[in-house]
Chains A and B, each alone.
Chain A
């Protein structure tokens, strides 16, 4: 088992190193940050000093190793636009994104699984057909379009909910959170629905497929024979049996929801990391782009690593074989 862990860890480190080279080379090759850093009326002397201060006069390879050395010391550089340490910039906006992602994913889980189970329990009922139609729409319709329609309906036409921003926040663990105030919730609900819709569709499909399969099996037959009520069968037995794939997908989707948050945050002006990366792409803010990409890559490598390790725990064949 430890051999397997070491192998996977090494693999993750190699992936991260390769990613850092690709991302650095890619970001290095686009645009000229000098146009942003140095005002056009600056003297030659100021120009040269600025270039030297950011290390832009050195060869690319040297700049890369300089970046990696700082990275390993926890220094991600300073934003060209905000002139703030990138780490500070990102960590300041991370709670907003995490809050949005968690509310969406948990919402999708707690609404999608019961709906999917219902659709799997009575596949031919009209309610099940409606549930499946919603799930197909959730898959097909682009997130940004749903967001626009939500704003148009609930903010512009009906005027029930605000169209953007985070609203009032309250402090918890030294960070501001929207979900602690009523006004915060009113700001949170539309973006959360927007981000949750795609996940909801996945949860419905998974739960439905699982339930349909389990319903045909012996477990349900014996439970019925034992005189258990349908409710008990569904909540005690079926739910337990379908939960393993749902939990796996839930974990994997948590990561991809962070990526999708980019779109939702832009539409609803939610001040999270996603909006930051779009702005920095448009402004060629290299350090922020680099840091965001490395953090996301790190997140995905970590999630994959954990999933691999959990699978190895569950499946002895993977442990013995070493390579999967």
Chain B
């Protein structure tokens, strides 16, 4: 795949524009995508500053009272303030729990996505650069894994590794790295066979330099698209595992865990405990996916104007 961003632009004036800035400009052309990007930024900020903006620290058990438990939205609790979204089964302010849950979900999604990006890219580029036997072995494993549904893989790994944040991230990474490996391999092997890389390989330049200075930057745009989509997927997968009772320990609930905790009260009409965390989860995932979708469109050379 040739890199659409690095392609020389028409006209002399545009030569000075860096490819990343050009990318940003083209991204801004679509209002909906820009809006989605704004939502993602807002949610990340909310998660970062959760301790400052949430009315209550949901992890501080001494601040909770069971008398406040399972109250509907708008209830004024013993803390003396209004629970805008109601309270959960432990008497936690749901809005605070959601903000902290957003923090946990984002943290896990981004960590898993980043680790999978590094591992997957390393494998893909190694395979593309080494060729031959190494390529055959590595990519055969990757392809085999891609044919397996990631949810099943994550489910099994969580079962095998036990519960906990590190184990969960490991399971998510193992379920996702293959997508990065495939993408990096595709981009890197296209680059590897180009004349300039062959020429560079003939000079005394180290393999490391060739990979980091030439191959990796060209594979980057495609990898960024995969990373966005995979972060959203990791968040959804974590929520699903939590929902199935195989995710994180209950002490610091993610969005998925909050939904799962509220389910048993849903049948009796106390729906807010699941519905609001769920809405937050959906907004998060859909916004990230829309950004990813638009990035894919502007980086796709076939749709280039």
Q: Report if B267 contacts A (CB, 8 A).
A: yes
Set of chain A residues within 8 Å of B148, measured between Cβ atoms? 300
Set of chain A residues within 8 Å of B151, measured between Cβ atoms? 259-260, 262-263
Contact check, A141 vs B149: say whether CB atoms are below 8 A apart: no
Set of chain B residues within 8 Å of A139, measured between Cβ atoms? 289
Q: Looking across the interface, which residue of chain A has its beta carbon closest to that of B156?
A: A293
Interface of B is mostly: helix
Q: Looking across the interface, which residue of chain A has its beta carbon closest to that of B143?
A: A304
> Interface-forming stretch among A24-32, A65-73, A81-89, A230-238?
A24-32
Report the contact-size class of chain B (Cβ under 8 Å from the partner).
35 or more
Contact check, B286 vs A137: say whether CB atoms are below 8 A apart: yes
Set of chain A residues within 8 Å of B271, measured between Cβ atoms? 152, 156
Q: Looking across the interface, which residue of chain B has its beta carbon closest to that of A141?
A: B282
Q: Looking across the interface, which residue of chain A has its beta carbon closest to that of B246?
A: A281
How many residues on A have C-beta within 8 angstroms of the other chain's C-beta atoms? 39
Given contacts A26-B160, A137-B286, A156-B269, whether A144 and B147 have CB atoms under 8 Å apart is: no
Whole-angstrom distance between the alpha carbons of A282 and B158 in the complex? 11
Q: Looking across the interface, which residue of chain A has its beta carbon closest to that of B274?
A: A148
Whole-angstrom distance between the alpha carbons of A37 and B5 in the complex? 62
Q: Looking across the interface, which residue of chain B has its beta carbon closest to that of A147?
A: B243
Set of chain A residues within 8 Å of B156, measured between Cβ atoms? 23, 26, 293
Set of chain B residues within 8 Å of A152, measured between Cβ atoms? 266, 271, 275
Contact check, A145 vs B160: say whether CB atoms are below 8 A apart: no
> Which of B147, B263, B289, B290 contacts A300 (CB under 8 A)?
B147
* 238-279 of chain B: CB within 8 A of chain A: 239-240, 243-246, 259, 263, 266-267, 269, 271, 274-275, 278
Q: Looking across the interface, which residue of chain A has its beta carbon closest to that of B158?
A: A281
Q: Report if B144 contacts A (CB, 8 A).
A: yes
Given contacts A262-B155, A293-B156, A304-B147, whether A148 and B267 have CB atoms under 8 Å apart is: no
Set of chain B residues within 8 Å of A178, measured between Cβ atoms? none
Q: Report if B17 contacts A (CB, 8 A).
A: no
- Cβ distance A128 to chain B, nearest Cβ, rounded Å: 16
Q: Report if A92 contacts B (CB, 8 A).
A: no
Q: Report if B85 contacts A (CB, 8 A).
A: no
Given contacts A143-B240, A148-B259, A282-B245, whether A29 and B286 have CB atoms under 8 Å apart is: no
Q: Report if B298 contacts A (CB, 8 A).
A: no
Whole-angstrom distance between the alpha carbons of A266 and B260 in the complex? 12
Q: Looking across the interface, which residue of chain B has its beta carbon closest to that of A19?
A: B144
- Cβ distance A130 to chain B, nearest Cβ, rounded Å: 15
Whole-angstrom distance between the alpha carbons of A148 and B240 in the complex? 12
Q: Report if B295 contacts A (CB, 8 A).
A: no
Whole-angstrom distance between the alpha carbons of A293 and B148 in the complex? 12
Whole-angstrom distance between the alpha carbons of A182 and B280 in the complex? 37
Given contacts A281-B246, A300-B148, whether A151 and B266 have CB atoms under 8 Å apart is: yes
Q: Looking across the interface, which residue of chain B has its beta carbon closest to that of A255?
A: B149
Give the 5 A-B residue pairs with the shortest CB-CB distance, closest first: A259-B149, A259-B152, A256-B149, A26-B160, A281-B159
Q: Which B residues are closer than 8 A to A by beta carbons?
A: 144, 147-149, 151-152, 155-156, 159-162, 232, 236, 239-240, 243-246, 259, 263, 266-267, 269, 271, 274-275, 278, 281-282, 285-286, 289-290, 293
Q: Can you sample 26 A-B contacts with CB below 8 Å?
A: A26-B160, A29-B160, A30-B159, A136-B286, A136-B290, A136-B293, A140-B232, A140-B282, A141-B285, A142-B236, A149-B278, A152-B275, A156-B269, A156-B271, A259-B149, A259-B152, A260-B149, A262-B244, A263-B240, A266-B244, A278-B244, A281-B246, A282-B246, A296-B152, A303-B147, A304-B144
Q: Which A residues are closer than 8 A to B by beta carbons?
A: 15, 23, 26-27, 29-30, 136-137, 139-145, 148-149, 151-152, 156, 163, 252, 255-256, 259-260, 262-263, 266, 277-278, 281-282, 289, 293, 296, 300, 303-304
